[in-house]
Amino acid sequence: MPEKKILITGATGFIGAYLLHYLVSKDEKNIRALRRQSSPLDLVESIYNQVEWVEGDILDPTSLEDAMQGIDKIYHCAAIVSFNQNDAAYMMRVNQEGTANVVNIALEKKVEKLVYVSSIAAIGRRKNETTINEKSKWSSDKSNTPYGISKHLAEMEVYRGMAEGLNAAIVNPSNVLGSGFWKGRATTGQFFFKMWRGLPFYPAGGTGFVDVRDVVRFMHLLMESDITSERYILNGDNLPFLTIFENIAKSLSVRIPFIKVSPLIREVAWRSSWLLSKFTGKPPFITKQTARYSARNYFYENGKSLEQFSFLYTPIEQTIKETGNQFLESVTKGLKPMILPF
Residue 136 pLDDT exceeds 80: yes
Whether 241 is in a domain gets the answer: no
Residue 30 pLDDT exceeds 70: yes
Q: Is 22 helix (H, G, I), strand (E, B) or coil?
A: helix
Q: For 185-214, what is the mean pLDDT?
A: 90
Q: Could you give the CA distance from residue 39 to residue 16 in angstroms, rounded to a whole number? A: 12
- Write the CB contacts of 291 (distance below 8 Å, at least 6 apart in sequence): 266, 267, 269, 270
Whether 88 is in a domain gets the answer: yes
Say how many C-beta atoms besides its own lie within 10 A of residue 229's C-beta.
13
**Cα–Cα separations (whole angstroms), residue 157 to 1, 73, 152:** 33, 17, 9
Whether 288 is in a domain gets the answer: no
Residue 203 pLDDT exceeds 80: yes
Whether 258 is in a domain gets the answer: no
**Burial class for 98, CB neighbours closer than 10 Å (0-12, 13-18, 19+):** buried
The gap from C-alpha 41 to its chain's centroid, in whole angstroms, comes to: 17
Whether 32 is in a domain gets the answer: yes
Q: At what angle do helices 241-252 and 316-331 cross, to 10 degrees?
A: 40
Tens digit of each residue's pLDDT (9 = 90 or more) over 32-48: 999 998 899 999 999 99
pLDDT class of 264 with cuts at 50, 70, 90: low
Please give the residue range of the domain that contains residue 151: 6-177+209-236+299-313
pTM of the model: 0.92
Q: What is the pLDDT of residue 155?
A: 96
Q: CB of 287 within 8 A of CB of 273?
A: yes
**Burial class for 140, CB neighbours closer than 10 Å (0-12, 13-18, 19+):** exposed
Residue 292 pLDDT exceeds 70: no
Q: What type of residue is 130? A: T
Q: Is 292 helix (H, G, I), strand (E, B) or coil?
A: helix
Q: Residue ranges of the alpha helices (H) in 72-188?
A: 88-92, 98-108, 146-163
Q: For 103-108, what is the mean pLDDT?
A: 97
**Count of structural domains within the chain:** 1
Q: What is the pLDDT of residue 199?
A: 87
Most confident of the ranges 36-45, 184-193, 218-227: 218-227
Whether 264 is in a domain gets the answer: no
Q: CB of 309 within 8 A of CB of 221?
A: yes
Whether 265 is in a domain gets the answer: no
Backbone angles phi, psi at 150, to 5 degrees: -65, -40
Q: For 206-214, what is the mean pLDDT?
A: 96
**31-35 and 6-9: which strand pairing?**
parallel
| CATH of residue 145 | 3.40.50.720
Q: Is 42 helix (H, G, I), strand (E, B) or coil?
A: coil
pLDDT class of 126 with cuts at 50, 70, 90: low
Q: Could you give the CA distance from residue 208 to residue 180 in angstroms, rounded to a whole number? A: 19
- Write the CB contacts of 118 (distance below 8 Å, at least 6 apart in sequence): 151, 154, 155, 158, 170, 171, 172, 231
Whether 217 is in a domain gets the answer: yes
Q: CB of 195 within 8 A of CB of 254?
A: yes
